[in-house]
Amino acid sequence: MTSFSKEDLLPKIPALKVDRSNWLTFKNRVEWATEAKGLIEYLEGTKPRPTNPSEDQDPLWEPSDVEALAVAEYPEKYATWWKENGYVKQLIGSALPETLFIKIRNKTCTSAIWDALANEFENCSCVVAIELQRKLQDLCCAEKGDVRAHFDKMITTCEELASLGHSIDPDDFATMLISSVPASYDSTISAMTTSTKITHLDLTPDVIMTTLIDDYDRRQVKSGKKSTSSGEDAAYSTNSSSKKFSGNCHNCQKKGHKAEDCWEEGSGKASQCPKRKWKGHSKGWSKDSKDKASTADAEGGEPDGVWFAVTHQTCLVLWTWRKLADETNAKNAPKIC
């Protein structure tokens, strides 16, 4: 005999809605709950109601040893069946709205109740199925929308159609998935279709959803890094806009930096100024960029109005590049690739 604890699964079954919107979820939850208790046979109808071997027998009927044993075991079997069947009935009935409960309240067997609900929700008219198909085809994800949530909604609608007896072909569903995402995913879709042609693999809905969701996650991570890197870039500047050094340099008498950060002669960072513009690999530093930098310095400010703090290693690399470029120009060497 199956025993039941005080903490059963009744509160965890979602209430069934009359509009069929959660029938699939309700069906799966009930099946899982009955499987957990070992009572799925009552839903499937494979656990019939026990019959009394002595019922409808002749008054002079004399049972054999086997029949006598069946008669002796009948009361206990019937009590067990009645209790377990009643549990599953209560499991279903507690989640039904009043209008549906009235329709099935007079049925004794759980399998009869389950079949009546399936007939009510799955064998609906074609109008409902057509409306769901139209809804599935019209689903589109916004340009910066949540692709993962969008695909979940499409899967739910597709499963609702399948539960109503109108399954969607995998190839058709794959086409719907591709056509429902924004145009910004065209490059990913193109690469995906090309790779499937090369590898001779089928472009299944699972492959499409996995690839596009990975691309969506990558974009989300990249977007998060941008917001973080903007804060990190600010840390590389000598000071923030509100704490920027506004005095004059004691070395070059220009505004916006201190003597220890000065790139003019007489400072520890002399000749370490990075150039702002690089034209070509063999032409060296642009003369226009030097003129613009000189003009900006003459006006008492730094080029572009911002003073960048560059590490010693970075300045050394830039200085080395400039030296190599000058030597290359002097020797008229081929372009550096």
For the chain, how many structural domains are there in total? 3
The dihedral built from the CA positions of residue 329, 334, 335 and 337, taken in this order, carries a sign that is negative
Examine residue 216 and state whether it is found in any structural domain, yes or no: yes
Residues sharing a CB contact under 8 Å with residue 184, sequence separation 6 or more, in sequence order:
143
State the average pLDDT for the chain.
74
Q: Indicate if the pLDDT at residue 309 is higher than 50.
A: no
Q: Indicate if the pLDDT at residue 24 is higher than 60.
A: yes
pLDDT at 150: 92
User: What range defines the domain where residue 273 resides?
Assistant: 259-331
Does residue 134 share a domain with residue 110?
Answer: no
Examine residue 249 and state whether it is found in any structural domain, yes or no: no
- Between CA 274 and CA 139 the distance in angstroms is 52
Does residue 156 share a domain with residue 68?
Answer: no
Does residue 82 share a domain with residue 134?
Answer: no
Question: Which residues face 255 on adjacent strands?
Answer: 248
Examine residue 241 and state whether it is found in any structural domain, yes or no: no
Q: Indicate if the pLDDT at residue 229 is higher than 50.
A: no
pLDDT at 227: 40
- Between CA 179 and CA 138 the distance in angstroms is 10
Tell me 184's DSSP state: G
* Domain boundary pick from 203, 219, 235: 235
More confident residue, 220 or 309: 220
Does residue 70 share a domain with residue 26?
Answer: yes
Q: Indicate if the pLDDT at residue 222 is higher than 80.
A: yes
More confident residue, 62 or 89: 89
Examine residue 212 and state whether it is found in any structural domain, yes or no: yes
Strongest mean pLDDT among 3-7, 195-199, 316-320 = 195-199
- The answer to whether 272 touches 315, Cβ cutoff 8 Å, is yes
Examine residue 245 and state whether it is found in any structural domain, yes or no: no
pLDDT at 298: 43
Q: Indicate if the pLDDT at residue 118 is higher than 60.
A: yes
Cα of 103 vs its chain's centroid, Å: 40
Query: Among 116-130, 188-202, 238-252, where is mean pLDDT lowest?
Result: 238-252
- Dihedral pair phi/psi, residue 60, rounded to 5°: -95, 10
pTM (two decimals):
0.47
* Residue 6 amino acid letter: K
